[in-house]
Amino acid sequence: GLSLGKKGAVLRDPRDSECPVSKARACVLKLPHGAVNTPVFMPVGTQGTLKGVTVAQLEELGCQICLGNTYHLGMRPGPELIEKANGLHGFMNWKRNLLTDSGGFQMVSLVELSEVTEEGVMFRSPYDGREILLTPEQSIAIQNSLGSDIIMQLDDVVSSTVTGPRVEEAMRRSIRWLDRCAAANKNPHRQNLFAIIQGGLNAELRKACLDEMTKRDVPGFAIGGLSGGEEKDDFWKMVTLSTDHLPRGKPRYLMGVGYAVDLVVCVALGCDMFDCVFPTRTARFGSALVPWGSLQLKQKQYAKDFQPIDPECQCATCKRHSRAYLHALFKSDTAAMHHITVHNICYQLTLMRSVRDSIIEQRFPEFVRSFMKRMFPSSEQYPSWAEDALASVNITLD
């Protein structure tokens, strides 16, 4: 698998490809629990479960890697119990790959923020009100207990809308915390520690972070601090700046990105891995993702619509059920949510597979054009940030 010190773990497999026009790549990551084809979308199974979908269903859908959440699992049921259960793989009985984040993001976004110091992040537990300090060492210790194939450094997270000296402070601290995380990792050969590039929306700070972090010999890099409410025009520029300065031979993980348009554009900008709660979360509200947008199945217009969500989709839901039935079922039973969740995961994975195939077959730009055409009723409605981003990597949309 990817291991610390192995320079250039990707783009060495004969199946790997690069798009000659844009910065897109298609690679194979060799991880302890199997190969992962990129570009890849990783569904998020926060608490050791993917919201009503069984691991058998997830496997059937072709998922090769999914996420678990260090903060939540660290709280319940806790690392000691999971270790007794043979790690998170054993606990939830998922035989393929797992990626865990560090817990840093949740601590900032979910809980009453007490204080960030050089030591770590101090926060108040929502369960018993205790004050808990999460240090880089502790985050890695929990992730070591979880046994995930890819683990994330604890970073000092600031919202992308924050400006001023705090941004630089967080960026510099994240570098120091990366080194502490690397030192604390008990299993460097089977748990691949990724660095997380910070620096907010400031090009200079981001570049400084890139310069420093790429000096460290980590198996992969995440692009962090984005996808948090900033302007899309700023967002894509930071993404492309990051990929410009990340080593070609290591995977690039863009955190928190999952909308279809964002995925396609960021693949063009050179990203390989993505995660987002959106597809699975929106499913539970009755929103089914399709190549031309989304269907809000709880709406009355679908009550007598006897087609499947997407007649071309191969998922179990589309092969068996109609929009009308799902609309009706939402009034009666949770299974309606599960049907849509299965479909949305299939949509995301199929999209990534199509992207990957088009890169391998050297027709990625054409793929992007037809994707955008399908997604938007007319070219006037193409988001300008997407047009700009694609143009920056030589893909023009007609």
Partner 1 sequence: MKLELSKVVQGCRLGVLIGIGKTGQHSLELPGCLLYTRCATVPHLTQDTLHTLTYLPAGAQVALDGLAEHHEVLEEFKEGVRKFAGLHDTALFCSLHDPATNCPTGHVTNKTVSVWGSGGRIEMTAARFIAMQAVIQPDCYQSMADGETWQTNTSRKRVHKAVNRTLAHLDECLTLHHKTPQLKHTEVFGVVEGGDILEERVRSARETAKRPVAGFVLDGFQSAAMEQELRGQLITAVTAELPVEKPRMLQGVGRPDEVIACVEAGVDLFEGFFPFQVTERGCALCFDYNVTPDPEAAALSPPTVLELNGERPAVEDPKQNDVGNTGTMTQFEINLKDIRYREDFRPLVEGCGCYCCKNHHRAYVHHLLVTSELLAGVLLMLHNTAHYLGFFRALREAISHERLQDFKTTVTKVDFGGRKQLH
**Residues of the shown chain interacting with partner 1 in the complex, contacts defined by CB under 8 A:** 47-57, 60, 72, 76-77, 81, 84-85, 91-93, 303-304, 306, 316-317, 320-322, 324-325, 328-329, 331-339, 342
Does the annotation mark 101 as catalytic? yes
- Select 10 or 55, whichever has its Cβ closest to partner 1: 55
Nearer to partner 1, 83 or 387 (CB): 83
Residue list, annotated binding site for Zn(2+): 313, 315, 318, 343
**CA-closest candidate to residue 374, choices 321, 310, 327:** 310
Spatial CB neighbours of 56, under 8 Å, sequence gap ≥ 6: none
Q: Cα(154)–Cα(311) distance, rounded to whole angstroms?
A: 43
Q: Which of 101, 156, 272, 310 is catalytic?
A: 101
Q: Which is nearer to partner 1, 93 or 370 (CB)?
A: 93
Sheet architecture: strand order including 121-124: 113-116, 121-124, 131-134
Count CA within 13 A, CB hemisphere, residue 160: 23
**Residues whose CB is less than 8 angstroms from the CB of residue 184 and which lie 6 or more positions away in sequence, other chains included:** 136, 137, 140, 141
The least distance separating partner 1 from the CB of residue 19, rounded to whole angstroms, comes to 36
Neighbour tally for 73: CB within 10 Å: 27
Q: Decide whether 334 or 370 has the Cβ nearer to partner 1.
A: 334
Q: How far is CA 278 from the centre of its chain?
A: 10
Torsion on CA atoms 7, 8, 10, 12, rounded to nearest 10: -100
Angle between helices 335-360 and 260-268 (to 10 degrees): 20
Catalytic residue among 149, 156, 272, 275: 275
Tell the smallest beta-carbon distance from residue 22 to partner 1 (Å).
38
| Residue 53 C-beta: closest distance to partner 1, Å | 7
The nearest distance, CB 168 to partner 1, in angstroms, is 37
Task: List the catalytic residues.
Answer: 101, 275
